[in-house]
Structure 1
């Protein structure tokens, strides 16, 4: 029986790796080759717990996807931007401001950055499970591969992380997995994002910031590492540092919803996108990411039964009676990001109040 054929796709040529001398962030490396045995998982629990409590960030290696499979997905990720005409793209506009959804395209210049400068990030999102969503004609032959990639993110990367985080709180292993069902109503999505170079004038007006420092609204974000060094994280010392490119690795960070569910035990990571090093100026930056949210009906209240939280205490963003559902929180964050009025505080921090909770942006 002949092997199934896969449709051909144009190759996206990424930027060469930077040769600049850079002070990189200390991101913990988590080896997922150990996650498949009880002994290996037991070894990883304190590593993941400490990484997400101290940094809110970590880097996963040996996650089960080959380098060749990753490159194939990067080639597919470029299709919505390079092979779909602009008039067709408008038919799949996500209209995030109006409905709080990420499904489809976020056009360039959608978010305000600073001093009248708007973003140069083009994004396309496929919401889990993906088959119920209409897609541009050029992308349709690749939907089965995209769905397989979403399943890999969900079951081979996200779920093991959620199990380790639950064990870090001394909760039953499936506690968080049960609140992240693949077929449930929600907004977990696969994202393709293409960052385009900006003018010197735009860089000066924004002080080289491409996306303001922020926390993600969901539980866990998976960013597949790529060679253009632009992601920066704020460390415990409040300094910004680039995240080093490690081939075929996944940068993992906790978001607001995870911080709320864990009673402040796990930290929503503060991160931003910044102008790349000089030898990568002029290149586009194409990225793959999988943003996970709890099921829409999950209320973002701490797990008070956690023996860990009973020992260390709970930090709440609001009283439990006022805690939003995942749907309410991700909708309001999506519709207001880059389009809301913020109050500027000291040290470049801007604040806005959403659903009674303070959300900070770091410039």
Structure 2
């Protein structure tokens, strides 16, 4: 792999300061917390798998703590992302992702998605793919200056968090521990990536025009999404009964994890792709921009979305595909098609009941 050119003396970064948590009494979701520091202890994997089983039967969201990355390491990534978004727009656009053709590595500018007629999204994104030869690309100076730390951080996420969670999912399904590892190895061609994200603040009047919803309820595309804790309350998860939304609390020194489409497809819905949305923060946090550091876990691109053979699924009645049209599609095809669709208008909830066809007749749904 040809090394990305790095600048010898990294520019000093302002220290990233996390703001105070909200003092509002919000309706928080009751989520399971997995302490991954227990993973290598005697019986630790089994204890964690039992907790995880409970989590996936509920809303498909859970927290992990004890994952072996310090808060300073995490905050340093927030600082890098913040400095990137401070660049002039014309500089960021030099690294624009080819979103219209299903590519998403690089920069996604503001306002590509219409969230309500005449109103567009308030998010900027910069995606950095896995550090393997297939994804060699150019980056802006702020990324090149800190490339070694970014690479180290990304690989630590995979080794300390992703691999352990994949083992736990295999145990939950009573499969060999390496089952999901074999389809998610780091050196395989897949769409895993680290993401820096910025939600631009809106005025109360702007929020009222979009019913306070910044990103409609949706599912993610791959296997797992990891959201590093930041204290602005804005993320909500749809309740299991589908009748409402609960806030996801920013748990100290945690990662919020949610399941995504691929795991739902290949487990016939036993592992549920969680429905979540982003809304305007409470009043005491409304005057700041919301930054994010995320990691998206996706299997190798050629993995066919065929159901796994699991005794647990058989016992619990998950013996039918979530959508027969998805069987035989590959993970790469599904992700690419969803990315392409994601730069278009959201479906109109009145005209098409919030559904949009993605690929091969398989639909995705968006929720208000």
User: By the TM > 0.5 criterion, same fold?
Assistant: yes
Aligned to 1:280: 285
Aligned to 1:88: 91
SS in 2 for 1:344: coil
Separation (CA, whole Å) in 1 of partners of 2:176 and 2:44: 17
Alignment deviations for residues 250-278 of structure 1 (CA, whole Å, 9 cap, x no partner): 00000011101112110000000001011
Q: CA deviation at 1:232?
A: 0.5
Separation (CA, whole Å) in 2 of partners of 1:341 and 1:244: 27
Asked if residue 22 in structure 1 is aligned to residue 26 in structure 2, the reply is yes
Evaluate the alpha carbon distance shift between residue 201 and residue 295 of structure 1 in structure 2; reply closer, same or farther with a 3 A threshold.
same
Aligned to 2:334: 329
Out of 281, 303, 321, the residue aligned to residue 298 of structure 1 is 303
Evaluate the alpha carbon distance shift between residue 32 and residue 192 of structure 1 in structure 2; reply closer, same or farther with a 3 A threshold.
same
Separation (CA, whole Å) in 2 of partners of 1:341 and 1:216: 15
SS in 1 for 2:157: helix
Out of 213, 216, 225, the residue aligned to residue 212 of structure 1 is 216
Asked if residue 125 in structure 1 is aligned to residue 130 in structure 2, the reply is no
Aligned to 1:136: 140
The answer to whether the Cα contact below 8 Å between 2:123 and 2:198 also exists between their aligned partners in 1 is yes
Q: CA deviation at 1:320?
A: 7.2
Out of 95, 103, 106, the residue aligned to residue 105 of structure 2 is 103
Separation (CA, whole Å) in 1 of partners of 2:214 and 2:62: 22
Q: CA deviation at 1:37?
A: 2.6
Asked if residue 150 in structure 1 is aligned to residue 157 in structure 2, the reply is no
Evaluate the alpha carbon distance shift between residue 315 and residue 80 of structure 1 in structure 2; reply closer, same or farther with a 3 A threshold.
farther
Name structure 1 gaps, 5 residues minimum.
Answer: none
Once the two structures are superposed, the pairs formed by residues 3-82 of structure 1 within 5 Å of their partners are: 8-82=12-86
Separation (CA, whole Å) in 2 of partners of 1:112 and 1:315: 35
Provide the TM-score with structure 2 as the length reference: 0.92
Separation (CA, whole Å) in 2 of partners of 1:6 and 1:64: 25
Asked if residue 230 in structure 1 is aligned to residue 234 in structure 2, the reply is yes
Separation (CA, whole Å) in 1 of partners of 2:306 and 2:348: 27
Q: CA deviation at 1:172?
A: 0.5
Name structure 2 gaps, 5 residues minimum.
Answer: 1-7
- Across the aligned residues of Structure 1 and Structure 2, the Cα RMSD in angstroms comes to 2.0
Provide the TM-score with structure 1 as the length reference: 0.93
The answer to whether the Cα contact below 8 Å between 1:115 and 1:205 also exists between their aligned partners in 2 is no
Aligned to 2:270: 265
SS in 2 for 1:47: helix
The answer to whether the Cα contact below 8 Å between 2:303 and 2:331 also exists between their aligned partners in 1 is yes
The answer to whether the Cα contact below 8 Å between 1:345 and 1:351 also exists between their aligned partners in 2 is no
Separation (CA, whole Å) in 2 of partners of 1:341 and 1:268: 19
Q: CA deviation at 1:228?
A: 0.6
Q: CA deviation at 1:249?
A: 0.3
Separation (CA, whole Å) in 2 of partners of 1:213 and 1:64: 31
SS in 1 for 2:334: helix
Separation (CA, whole Å) in 1 of partners of 2:300 and 2:326: 19
Separation (CA, whole Å) in 2 of partners of 1:248 and 1:5: 30
Evaluate the alpha carbon distance shift between residue 86 and residue 338 of structure 1 in structure 2; reply closer, same or farther with a 3 A threshold.
closer
Q: CA deviation at 1:322?
A: 4.3
Q: Number of residues paired by the alignment?
A: 356
